[in-house]
Chain A
Amino acid sequence: MMITVHHYLLLSIALFVIGAIGVVTRRNALIIFMSIELMLNAVNIAFLAFARWNLLIEGKMIVLFVLAVAAAEAAVGLGIVISIYRNRQTVYVDEMRLLKG
């Protein structure tokens, strides 16, 4: 039973899709955000799998950057969530329908 790059990719895709499902099904902004983090994590797995199989260091370096960017995004994203909570006392996106049409 050989574990090939395809196995890792399938895992990555599975996590990515689970994240995507979470994004489209949940209404809590925080959980949506977490789902997105799941997707980024899946991407990282894909990068590393490819790096491993192609014997390229670039893949791993990119993951490093992705991690950093994800952290930065988390900071800003949580800031936004807090500021909206201050105004509206909610984090449910279906209650935010001020802008539409």
Chain B
Amino acid sequence: MLDTLYQYISIQTLAWLIVALPLIGAALNALIAVGTAKREMGSYRSLVSFIGVVMPMLAFAAAAAIFVTMTSFESTDPSFITGPLFQWAVTKGLVIDIGLKMDQLSIVMALMVTGVGSLIHLYSVGYMGHDEGYARYFAELNLFLFFMLTLVLADNLVLMFVGWEGVGLCSYLLIGFWFEDIAKARAGTKAFIVNRIGDAFFLAGMFLIYAVMASANAPVNAGYFNFEMMSRYNAYFVPMAGIISLLLFGGAVGKSAQIPLYVWLPDAMAGPTPVSALIHAATMVTAGVYMVVRLNFIFALSPFALSVVASVGAATALYAATMGLTQTDIKKILAYSTISQLGYMFMAAGVGAFSAAIGHLITHAFFKALLFLCAGSVIHAMAGEQDIRKMGGLRYRMPVTCWTFVIAALAIAGIAPAAGFFSKDAILWQAFERGQYVLWTVGFIAAGMTAFYIFRAVGMVFFGESNVPPERYKKVHESPTSMAMPLIILAFLSLLGGLITVPHVLGGTDRLGTWLSKLIAYETSHAPGEESKATEIVVMVITLLWSIHFMVLGWVIYAQKREWPNAVAQKFGFVYTLVANKYYVDEIYDFLIVRPLNWISTKILWQTIDDTFVDGLAVHGTARTVGVWANIVSMAETGVLQQYLLYFLIGAVVVVGYLAL
């Protein structure tokens, strides 16, 4: 069947189509959006849905076709590049092509992005069905896919950066989608700005890469930023690898919401829930992880940089998990959970387990998207209510949502055999195996917390007594098919997605790891000896039991004994307040950075330096000095003739005195 396809269209063109289709969708929907601005959309609504949903699906189909083709390649390396569509910049010393790189990593990402993306688009048809910004929504969402795919498929760093910033743009637009709520608009602004801080580091990293490539005398024509070229001249990166890696990681910290730049992500929940699912859970936020893995050949050169990556990841994983414990907003819980899970991924990358990072990235995409979509379904049903304390017992009213949510919760909690179990276990095991016991311990604790907070949510939302006012409770209903369908598909994936990473010890083949192994420069793929096999199983079981324990605990407490937590909270009042207020980090940033910056800019830079000194003292001061002298000189012209004669005489005396003496 594919052969027939390739008679009409080359595989390169197909690759381009993956990127182009969402762009076309975005453009068309943008036109509709502008055309119907301030008017009723009417029949355009179905056109918008059609374009918006079909384009990502087609892109997914194209990606799938390429993936199938790649798996059937007989050579050891199935990757290929599309070659430049056009040259973005060519000058002496700089060549940047616009080209795509289809390799094992990028195609997996593309599949995930288009796949999950399509589902979420489909979900959005129902979720956003009555919004007046419908066309705008789909335009922005399609545009997001375009940029995300650009980011993923780019064959060079600059193009990747284009996607990188582009997804930031879309994130900004979509977070602030309901811009009339100033808090939402503010959240969008905050997200973009915090991301920008990371991007600045990213840029600096790119410039250093350029410097390295230039010093390596790499052939300019191929492009200094080309991944292929960079990996070929890998050796030259040795002296600078640490700093470059850290700078690039700075970018990842921003995009993937790690300490200390994670603050935007909880706020980003202001966007429509499908957006949170797609951008702030499944795809965009994982771009940082993707970038680290993509450039693993540089990161791997610097153990120090890797250890920083791992430490930041682990710290974030634990830290965010603690905050997840106390949140009462369902989306916020998921947001902190996302931050925490991203921490895991970085921890994996940091210990050198790049493929484990990607594995968790993929499974996380499934179950976290699912969690968000379920949450969206609940919120939709609850007419916008997001506080889990005002929910409860919803399983009777919306069973599909409930049970898919539980599946996703199992997955994220790492309960076998759901997807999360395998991927998370891989990370923890890799840390343990490489002797990173501290990291492992942190990850282990965080895993328990994860299980606890997610089942806390399950318990409070779907089980136990309902806190919903009865008349409202009656109105709660299951979501329409267009929304339920993606839930079911994702539940399926969350349940079975782990199969791609089933480790050898459990009789699996770690398909993903094998698939990616070509690209990973430094994965100490220990052929598991007998000893470690046993250890691995022991560790695995311990982790599993630990997670199950907390799962049960969380469910019991919050579904059955809801009075307990308050008692605990009162007992540990200070700690609880601290955590519930997210450690006051937003306030601290506000106090330490935002306010001082504002104050300095206003009072010192603008009013003091600019207005008072430069403009006031220097500019107007000069003018005033001139004015004063002008008045003095003018006053000397008193009108009295004798004065004039006096000036004359004095002048004459001076001239004569000077000349005659």
Contacts and interface: CB of A to CB of B under 8 A. Distances in A.
Consider the complex of A and B and state whether they touch directly, i.e. have CB atoms less than 8 Å apart.
Answer: yes
Contact of B642 (A94, A98, A99, A100): A94
A99 B644 CA distance: 12
A93 B634 contact: no
16 contacts: A23-B649, A24-B642, A24-B645, A32-B641, A93-B640, A93-B642, A94-B642, A96-B639, A96-B641, A97-B639, A97-B640, A99-B639, A100-B640, A101-B634, A101-B637, A101-B639
Contact of A24 (B634, B637, B638, B646): B646
Given A20-B649, A101-B634, A27 B639 contact: no
Nearest to B638: A100
Interface size grouping (class) on chain B: 10 to 19
Contact of B649 (A24, A96, A99): A24
A53 to B, nearest CB: 19
Interface of B: 634-635, 637-642, 645-646, 649
Interface of A: 20, 23-25, 27, 32, 93-94, 96-101
Most buried by A among B635, B638, B640, B641: B641
A27 to B, nearest CB: 7
B47 to A, nearest CB: 78
B645 A23 contact: yes
B660 to A, nearest CB: 11
Contacts of B642: 24-25, 27, 93-94
Contact of A100 (B637, B645, B646): B637
Contacts of A97: 638-640
A86 B504 CA distance: 126
A85 B620 CA distance: 47
A98 B639 contact: yes
B647 to A, nearest CB: 10
Given A94-B641, A98-B639, 18 more contacts: A20-B649, A23-B645, A24-B646, A25-B642, A32-B641, A93-B640, A93-B641, A93-B642, A94-B640, A96-B639, A96-B641, A97-B638, A97-B639, A97-B640, A100-B637, A100-B638, A100-B639, A100-B640
Contacts of A20: 649
A99 B638 CA distance: 8
A67 B639 CA distance: 31
Contacts of B637: 100-101
A94 B639 CA distance: 8
Most buried by B among A20, A24, A93, A101: A24
Nearest to A20: B649
Report the 5 A-B pairs with minimum CB-CB distance, sorted nearest first. Answer: A100-B639, A97-B639, A93-B641, A24-B645, A94-B640
Nearest to B631: A101
